[in-house]
Amino acid sequence: MGLPGISGYTLPTDLPQPRGPWRAERGRLALLVHDMQRYFCRPFPAGAPLEPAVANIARLIQAARAAGVPVFYTAQKGDQFRPDRGLQADLWGPGMQAIPEHEEILPELAPAAGDIVLVKHRYSAFQRSNLEHLMRARGRDQLMVCGIYAHIGCLATAAEAFQRDIEAFAVADAQADFSAEKHAMAMSWIAATCGVPMLTEQALAALSGKVAQCA
């Protein structure tokens, strides 16, 4: 029970072809920085995959802010009551404590004025949050997802975005996971069912106003 130890691996660069025809457009996009808290990052070893993923996330955040693209974060609260934590407690134990060493978002990715931090309750960022409402109020119907873990919350968020008629873009080399195999599975599943995997350079092109050509 709890988070596993994670071995290093190289971030993916060869992405599956998506079924969806969607292209990321700056005027429609919002950026989601998913669960980049110390508690979730600490199982990773030094180096890849986390360090290059963090560097890519930082580039995406900077580009989104410069372009006027809304930046959202998810972050869990520590010391959750069992009824609030629900079935997650059966798989992952009690989770993080209400201490900065667990709850803090990595300083190099810290929210700035104007960014929106959503309290995370379940795998999907949409669950028990007003993410969709906040996006619609800003005229946004595309969601670019980066963060951890690729095959859990990032995938669940992309899947729920699709079910809410929001086009999802998974930035593969700005996510990290338990293993290369789970990371690849997440990208394949998203490509086949609910979204478009892309690389950071493609995401940056979209945020700069160019039409991103994916996979």
- Return the active site residues: 35
Query: Distance between CA atoms of 69 and 140, rounded to whole angstroms?
Result: 9
Cis peptide preceding 49, ω within 30 of 0: yes
In sequence order, what are the beta bridge partners of 148?
176
Cα angle 39, 63, 118 (rounded to 5 degrees) comes to 40
Which residue, 157, 149, 184, is CA-closest to 31? 157
